[in-house]
Amino acid sequence: MSKSRMTTTTATVAIASAAAVMAGVAGCGSDGGSSASDSSADTSGDSGEIVITCATCQESPTDPFLQYNYEAAQRFNEEFAGTYRVETIENANAGSSDDRLQYYQRLALADDLPDLFQLNSGEIKALQETGRLHDFASTLENDDEWAATFHDQAFDALMGAGGEIWAIPQQRDAIGIYYNTELLENAGFAEFPATWDEFEDLAAELRSQDKVAIAMDGDWATMLMWVNLIGTQPGGAEFLREGIVGSDNWGDDPTVVQATERLRDWHVEGYVNADAFSGEFQNAAAPYLTEEAAMVANGPWFVNTNLKTDSAAPGLYEKTGYAAAPGWSEGDRGAVVVSGAGWVSGTTDEQKLEAVETFVKFVSSEDEVLRQATATGANPPVQVDAAAAEEADLEPLATGLIEEAAESTYRYPHVRVHGPAGFGAAWKNLWPAYVKGEMATDEFLQRLTDDAMSDQTG
């Protein structure tokens, strides 16, 4: 090859390569699909329709809440066609996960939060620090009629210290303990135990029959029982509401110490499934669904996502009961009551806020909350007409527990929803070692407090 030809070839390759890089860089810049604000940039098109983005309105074959949101958004779009439209953002972090908060924090930093999305109260506490969340307080103040439809305390877990209302609740549920009536009867219990002592008698009997008394997972389901053991003692509910975010050592509270040791002892005595530490709820669900375990704690959504699926033993739904937690003494039962996720908004645009407010009013209307309750098993955050509720054929297990919880001595929040953001990771890390006897109760609770309150690194 001659020198001049080689030079020409090299120059051609160089120019082509440079062009390819420029095209690549330009290509990177033109990908607006993942940007919340890009897709919502056209606030109104020629038609004058106001478009808002929703990051939790995508179709989902596995998550009934997301699926309901998707269908509700479609109905909203039909009803308000030409005026408002919800545009769905496909979001891998739409469902509850450890990464969800980080995802929205990154969007907040980029001033690119979606117009509509959902967070739980712990995440709201963290994200409101970015100053990017819309405060719904004035919306509720300006619409007394709408505000009055919500249950008392429906906003408690969704409010800021200054009275801000960062989210409109999607549900208000009591969380209890599912039990297999047949297995309990075989163990000599015609009714669900009223006290923790009776509960342990039942567990011992089930153990002697080679049954797991109560299935746990080292995470959600285990924490529910921890919370139940704390919340059903005098002062326990106060700890779960306030002490858990204010105290610098939970081991100073005797209710927490007693609850923690009692829960540990259930594992030691063999009342709990051996694989109760992975943090996977499936490890708790599977023994119950196969009738290996007699009880499991979870919310009303367990019915649609587990009990009524093919994973459950035939006829299990029919023989399942749902009860509030036993008490430390007769008559002192209790239940976890949660608002769950709430609708939040990251927009500051007046027109979009108008659309957002219209949407949250739409999904909290009686028709929609009943539709949601039917689809997800979760109960409405607003009061609904008794006749309408009956006609909607809501899940009887869930509605029964709501009534039972209302009559219980104690009602308290779940630590995963109301506690410090680092609680889940700290618990999953320390709980197995504590149960296996590698640290004493005071050391466990001190470290749990420190890790949950300060950071997750240690």
Partner 1 sequence: MRGPVMVSLLPGITLFGIFFLVPFFVLVATAFARWGGLDFAWVGLDNYQRMFDDPVFFKAFGNTLFYAAASMFIQVPLGVAVGMVLALRPRGWRALRTIIFVPFVISGAAYAVIFSMFYNPRSGLLNNVLGALGLSGDRDWLFDTATARWAVAGTFVFIIGFVVVLVMAEIASIPNEIYEAASVDGATTWQQLTRITLPLLRNVIGTAILVRLLVDIGMFDLVFILTAGGPDDATATLALYAYRAYLNGEWGYANAVGSVILAVGLVLIVTVRRAFRIGERAL
Stretch that binds partner 1, among 9-17, 240-248, 334-342, 391-399 (CB under 8 A): 9-17
User: Residue from 429, 441, 446, 450 that binds partner 1 (CB under 8 A)?
Assistant: 429
User: Residue from 92, 436, 440, 442 that binds partner 1 (CB under 8 A)?
Assistant: 436
- Asked if 20 interacts with partner 1 (CB under 8 A), we say yes
Least separation, in Å, of the C-beta of 296 and partner 1? 14
299-338 binders of partner 1 (CB under 8 A): none
Residue 224: name the closest of 338, 342, 63, 317 by CA. 338
Residue number with CB closer to partner 1 (18 or 406): 18
Interface with partner 1: number of residues (CB under 8 A): 44
DSSP conformation letters of 237-290 = HHIIIIIHHH-S-GGG-HHHHHHHHHHHHHHHTT-B-TTTTS--HHHHHHHHHT
User: Residue from 139, 233, 273, 345 that binds partner 1 (CB under 8 A)?
Assistant: 273
Q: How far is CA 435 from the centre of its chain?
A: 26
User: Residue from 111, 248, 265, 455 that binds partner 1 (CB under 8 A)?
Assistant: 455
Residue 429: name the closest of 221, 258, 278, 272 by CA. 278
User: Residue from 41, 81, 92, 109 that binds partner 1 (CB under 8 A)?
Assistant: 109
- Asked if 62 interacts with partner 1 (CB under 8 A), we say no
Residue 94 DSSP code: -
Determine the residue type at 133: L
Structural contact between residues 56 and 91, judged by C-beta atoms closer than 8 angstroms? yes
For the four alpha carbons of 45, 49, 50 and 56, in that order, the dihedral sign comes to negative
Stretch that binds partner 1, among 39-47, 271-279, 311-319, 381-389 (CB under 8 A): 271-279
Least separation, in Å, of the C-beta of 454 and partner 1? 9
223-242 binders of partner 1 (CB under 8 A): none
Q: Give the C-alpha separation, 263 to 271, whole Å.
A: 10
- Asked if 457 interacts with partner 1 (CB under 8 A), we say yes
For the four alpha carbons of 94, 97, 101 and 103, in that order, the dihedral sign comes to negative
- Asked if 23 interacts with partner 1 (CB under 8 A), we say no
Least separation, in Å, of the C-beta of 164 and partner 1? 18
Structural contact between residues 377 and 301, judged by C-beta atoms closer than 8 angstroms? yes
Residue 176 DSSP code: E
Task: Provide the total of helices (H) and of strands (E) in the chain, helices listed first.
Answer: 22, 11
User: Residue from 41, 42, 82, 106 that binds partner 1 (CB under 8 A)?
Assistant: 106
366-425 binders of partner 1 (CB under 8 A): 422, 425
Q: How many CB atoms lie within 10 A of CB 150?
A: 19
Least separation, in Å, of the C-beta of 211 and partner 1? 13
Stretch that binds partner 1, among 3-11, 43-51, 135-143, 351-359 (CB under 8 A): 3-11
- Asked if 102 interacts with partner 1 (CB under 8 A), we say yes
String of contacts with partner 1 for each residue 187-226, x by CB under 8 A: -------------------------------x--------
User: Residue from 156, 197, 238, 275 that binds partner 1 (CB under 8 A)?
Assistant: 275
How big is the chain by its Cα radius of gyration, in Å? 26
Residue number with CB closer to partner 1 (208 or 457): 457
Stretch that binds partner 1, among 38-46, 83-91, 102-110, 354-362 (CB under 8 A): 102-110
Q: How many CB atoms lie within 10 A of CB 86?
A: 24
User: Residue from 140, 204, 392, 439 that binds partner 1 (CB under 8 A)?
Assistant: 439
Buried b (16+ CB within 10 A) or exposed e, 20-36: eeeeeeeeeeeeeeebb
User: Residue from 15, 41, 81, 406 that binds partner 1 (CB under 8 A)?
Assistant: 15
Three-state secondary structure readout of 297-313: EECCHHHHHHHCCCCCC
Residue 292 DSSP code: S
Structural contact between residues 216 and 226, judged by C-beta atoms closer than 8 angstroms? no
Interaction site with partner 1 (CB under 8 A) = 7, 10-11, 13-15, 17-18, 20-21, 98-99, 102, 105-106, 109, 126, 129-130, 218, 273-275, 277-280, 283, 287, 422, 425, 428-433, 436, 438-439, 455-458
